[in-house]
Amino acid sequence: MTATSLRLALAQLNPTIGDICGNADKVRAARRIAGDAGAELLMLPELFLCGYPPEDLVLKPAFQDACRKACEALARETGDGGPAVLLGLPWAEGGKLYNAYALLDGGLIQSVRFKVALPDYGVFDDSRVFSPGPLPGPVVFRDKVRLGLPICEDIWSEEVVECLAETGAEILLAPNGSPYRRDVGDERMNVAVARVVESGLPLVYLNQLGGQDELVFDGASFVLAADRTLAHQLPAFREAVVVTDWAREAGQWRAQPGEIAAIESGDEADYAACVLGLRDYVGKSGFRGVVLGLSGGLDSALCAAIAVDALGPGRVTCVMMPSRFTAQQSLDDAKACAKALGVRYETLPIAAPVAGFEAALAGLFAGTQPDVTEENLQSRARGTLLMALSNKFGWMLVTTGNKSEMSCGYATLYGDMNGGFNPIKDVYKTQAFRLAQLRNHWQPAGALGRDGVVIPESIMARPPSAELREGQTDQDALPPYEVLDAILACLIEREMRVADIVALGHERETVLAVERLLHRAEYKRRQAAPGVKVTGRNLGRDRRYPIVNAFSDGGEGAYEPDATLVKGVGRPGGESFDF
């Protein structure tokens, strides 16, 4: 192979799961852009034709057929002499289903490679629906370069890349469906650098973009040279088609330096993920806009700001639903927030609906004392009114509970938990304050909301309250949020023992109380709306706990097993060994 140059186009695009025709049209549009730029090859992310992750939808034979038919149509179109296409799709062969990556060129499907490493941890369940492929060799492209095509998880260990390097690969092109979580970019870069060092080969990391249910794919694709220098960095949270130029120098391919986009990190990245996740959930589901209850509190104000940045003020309706416990300050703050955001703002008092519920229940409740039941009637009246607006006008109801509340069950089923999607479901209360402060002086690229202060400072200064009784604050029922969130992060993200959390300086009874709340609220979370994942472990796909669960960590600390009681431990094949 004596070719000395290659022009490769990278398409960091936003597919919709199941919209095979629409995704194929995105491939065609990107191919036209690549062709106009003189590119010879267009690369798409993992499973782009069907969208990732397709979950059990991919097991439907009709779905598999539709993907194959669309792939073949795209392959025929490459007979026009334009750019070849590297395309991900499910591939049925020999009674098995594979996560495949195909080279389409010259009117044919020239080569197909299958994903080897199938993740089944965290949010992933690839091994549930796909069969692992064999260790791959490189694909020869137009007799000029041997391409190694490790698919996503294939680069997270050495085996696949080592095999490709040993069998003659010259460039590693890795299509990915890697969802966002905080600091994941550093992890991806570390893994990519390790593979480059081990193989001595340059690597293209091309990631999917867009929201899919709880997951947000942030893009942030990049190109590493064989000497580990960063040749290209694509933006995060935005689509991009970028053409890269490659030259063979001293027998090795090198990417010519290109644009290095700035990548959001920390709270900025989390906020951008919430915006993209809500935008795509609403858009891909076909809703005209959204409606949410604007209480004058922090969480609903933050969600309103996210909704406006995602959809624009014209597609967001905010509703204040005061009760006799609603403070004048809440009314003033809600109105000011709505005005700053530029959204439609309505007021629906709930006194009459609540009185109706109380009257209907008066006979059965006779002789009992008012308690949380009557408080929850207020929340449920609000939820009913908001759902009526959703039904009547085709607006999706945004629910606004943060991760701290959802963890502890500090939310009302069929009340404030009503809704189709929650952009801050994976945001702890302490971070919600930070995101609100952040949004008042910054907004992500492509945001459709106004610049400047959109969440009144008075909202952030007030003690959080559900305002379901006179003088109520969140801290009546929960520890201070700084304490609560630190304990929850230990229990959820790190699965720490109670004793180890206490050793960090937390009060034992507080930790035990929070753990009890966390376990008891599982039944509520199973009925909660999906929401954007931003942490390492969200209360959804990542964390699958039984609803009925009698276990409690008593706080005794780690137990040291008595090895003298164990005669043998079984091994595969029935063998055992003695200690």
Q: Is 65 annotated as a binding-site member?
A: no
**Closest by CA position to 541, among listed 553, 532, 550, 552:** 532
Question: CA torsion sign, 468 to 472 to 473 to 478?
Answer: negative
What is the C-alpha to C-alpha distance for residues 119 and 329, in angstroms, rounded to an integer? 50
Q: Write the DSSP assignment of 78-132 as a string of letters.
A: GGGSS-EEEEEEEEEETTEEEEEEEEEETTEEEEEEE------STT--HHHH-PP
Q: Per 3-state DSSP, what percentage of the chain is helix, strand, and coil (rounded to 5)?
A: 40, 20, 40
DSSP 8-state symbol, 491? H
What is the C-alpha to C-alpha distance for residues 313 and 390, in angstroms, rounded to an integer? 17
CA 119 to chain centre: 16
Q: Is 106 annotated as a binding-site member?
A: no
Q: Is 178 annotated as a binding-site member?
A: yes
What is the C-alpha to C-alpha distance for residues 270 and 255, in angstroms, rounded to an integer? 31
Q: Is 400 annotated as a binding-site member?
A: yes
**Closest by CA position to 458, among listed 550, 562, 282, 332:** 332
Q: Is 131 annotated as a binding-site member?
A: no
Q: Is 211 annotated as a binding-site member?
A: no
Find the catalytic residue in 152, 274, 318, 337: 152
**Closest by CA position to 305, among listed 338, 346, 270:** 338
Contact 550, 522 (CB under 8 A): no
Q: CB-side exposure of 322: number of CA atoms within 13 Å?
A: 15
Contact 238, 446 (CB under 8 A): yes
Find the catalytic residue in 26, 40, 71, 115: 115
Mode of pairing for the β-strands spanning 41-43 and 84-93: parallel
Mode of pairing for the β-strands spanning 215-218 and 209-212: antiparallel
Find the catalytic residue in 40, 46, 264, 467: 46
Q: Max CA-CA distance within the chain?
A: 92
Q: Is 295 annotated as a binding-site member?
A: yes
Contact 574, 561 (CB under 8 A): no
Q: Is 176 annotated as a binding-site member?
A: no
How far CA 568 is from CA of 270, 310, 355, 417, 572, in Å, comes to 49, 59, 67, 50, 13
127: phi then psi, degrees, rounded to nearest 5: -70, -15
Q: Is 26 annotated as a binding-site member?
A: no
Number of residues in the chain: 579
Mark whether 152 is an active-site residue: yes
Pure H helices in 342-415: 351-365, 372-393, 403-408
Q: Is 96 annotated as a binding-site member?
A: no
Mark whether 46 is an active-site residue: yes
**Binding-site positions for L-glutamine:** 121, 178
> Catalytic residues, which ones?
46, 115, 152
Binding residues for deamido-NAD(+): 376, 405, 524
Q: Which residues are annotated as a binding site?
A: 121, 178, 293-300, 376, 400, 405, 524
Residue ranges at the known binding site for ATP: 293-300, 400
